[in-house]
């Protein structure tokens, strides 16, 4: 039985056998599958079906997986797991930069993929013992899974939310790389420190546009959240 509520999962792969295998696996724990066999169909199905989670192959004809990933991410914060036969670090970094939340290399263990789905679902829905956390410019409502910068609601991915929550909870103190990895990838036995970089870069861009506090690196150690200084007024002569 699934440890999370049943999800509607969009599975995107140009190999019908792989779609069928993933569908059988996730269906065995109660999830429902929506299938797509090329990039253009994937975007159409995403818009029409509004899935809870996306499992995406990279190597597809036409609109490839990276383009699909970026397109879905532009539309919102739906968790994305890339499922690819490419195991090189550069491919993983490129997928994370495009907006993926996780990356699983083929061939994969059945229990591993189910665990990744559970982990991503926890990141987007877990309620903490304290419902709110805040800085001068950022307020996190954990119960509603919302982040506000002033009166502006920020659209964050589950991992961006988890990383910002860790930084806000630090109250301006240093949050180490290890602490950020634990927040973004709970239960992952050996997370790669490079995983945080693309997510923090996108988070920083969103916070900067909202005039909110920014994740600021402390070389080789971690990050702290620092409020932006208002621009100095132009002298009037």
pTM score of the predicted model: 0.59
Whether the upstream peptide bond of residue 107 has omega within 30° of 0, thus cis, is yes
Write the pLDDT tens digit of every residue in 166-185. Answer: 999 887 888 999 999 999 99
pLDDT computed for residue 127 by the predictor: 38
pLDDT computed for residue 130 by the predictor: 52
What gap in Å lies between CA 86 and CA 65, rounded to an integer? 12
pLDDT computed for residue 171 by the predictor: 78
Structure tokens at 124: 């987007």
- Report CA-CA distances (Å) from 188 to 88, 134, 164, 170: 19, 27, 19, 22
pLDDT computed for residue 124 by the predictor: 60
Domains of the chain: 8-125 (3.40.50.2300), 132-226 (1.10.10.10)
Write the pLDDT tens digit of every residue in 81-112. Answer: 999 988 888 899 999 999 999 999 988 888 99
Average pLDDT over the chain reads 86
Q: How far apart are the first and last CA of the chain?
A: 72
Question: How many helical (H) and strand (E) elements, i.e. helices and strands, does the chain have?
Answer: 8, 12
- The arrangement of strands across the sheet holding 146-149 comes to 132-134, 139-141, 146-149, 152-154
What gap in Å lies between CA 151 and CA 136, rounded to an integer? 13
CB contact set of 26 (below 8 Å; sequence gap of 6+): 7, 9, 11, 33, 55, 113, 114, 117
Which residues of the chain fall short of a pLDDT of 70? 1-4, 123-132, 230-237
What gap in Å lies between CA 145 and CA 137, rounded to an integer? 17
pLDDT computed for residue 135 by the predictor: 81
pLDDT computed for residue 233 by the predictor: 47
Structure tokens at 19: 């779609």
Q: Is 147 in contact with 156 (CB distance < 8 Å)?
A: yes
């Amino acid at each position: 039985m699934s440890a999370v509520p049943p999800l509607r999962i969009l599975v995107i792969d140009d190999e019908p056998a792989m779609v069928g295998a993933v569908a059988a696996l996730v269906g065995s724990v109660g999830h429902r599958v929506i299938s797509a066999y090329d990039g253009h169909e994937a975007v159409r199905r995403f818009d029409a079906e509004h899935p809870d989670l996306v499992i995406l192959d990279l190597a597809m004809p036409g609109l490839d997986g990276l383009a699909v990933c970026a397109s879905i991410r532009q539309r919102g914060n739906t968790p994305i797991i890339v499922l690819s036969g490419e195991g090189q670090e550069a491919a993983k970094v490129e997928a994370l930069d495009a907006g993926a939340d996780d990356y699983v290399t083929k061939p994969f263990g059945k229990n591993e993929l189910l665990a990744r789905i559970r982990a991503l679902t926890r990141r987007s829905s877990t309620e903490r013992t304290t419902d709110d956390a805040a800085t001068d410019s950022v307020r996190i409502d954990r119960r509603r899974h919302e982040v506000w910068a002033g009166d502006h609601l920020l659209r964050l991915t589950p991992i961006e939310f988890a990383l910002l929550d860790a930084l806000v909870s630090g109250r301006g103190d240093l949050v180490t790389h290890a602490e950020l990895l634990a927040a973004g990838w709970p239960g992952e036995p050996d997370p790669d420190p490079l995983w945080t970089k693309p997510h923090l870069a996108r988070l920083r861009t969103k916070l900067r546009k909202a005039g909110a506090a920014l994740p600021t690196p402390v070389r080789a150690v971690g990050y702290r959240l620092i409020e932006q200084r208002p621009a100095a007024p132009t002298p009037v002569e």
